[in-house]
Amino acid sequence: QVQLVESGGGLVQAGVSLRLSCAVSGRTLGRYTMGWFRQAPRKERDFVAVITWSGVTTTYADSVKGRFTISRDNAKNTVYLQMNSLKPEDTAVYYCAMTKGAVYSTRDSEYAYWGQGTQVTVSS
């Protein structure tokens, strides 16, 4: 059974950094694309970042480009999201997700497995 568990969220002030982690169990991470999504209160879930199985290629939402960095350690079966210069509009529940196969996508419909989410709250 595949499980994704996010950690690292919290309540922080604007301008600081946080690093989210996503630990994967039940499947070897190294063969799948991994993504981060977020959902703010009363809004739809949005794409944040995606990384190929090799870690060579990444894509970011325009709203986080230059501030967030996605990375992965396949040996540790873990994906990370480094978030710098946080803004109040980054407040959301952050989810990591694993694709269904060897697909590279920013669409949440392409992801088969999801974590439970971790709350990030940024105060002004």
pLDDT category of residue 100 using cuts at 50, 70 and 90:
confident
Q: What percent of the chain clears pLDDT 70, i.e. is strictly above it?
A: 100
Kind and range of the H or E run holding 120: strand 118-123
Residue 27: pLDDT band with limits 50, 70, 90 = confident
Q: 28-85 pLDDT, tens per residue? A: 877 899 999 999 999 999 999 999 988 899 999 999 999 999 999 999 999 999 999 9
Residue 101 confidence (pLDDT)? 78
Q: Is 21 helix (H, G, I), strand (E, B) or coil?
A: strand
CA 37 to chain centre: 5
Strand partners, 78: 23, 73
Distance (Å, rounded) from C-alpha 45 to C-alpha 9? 17
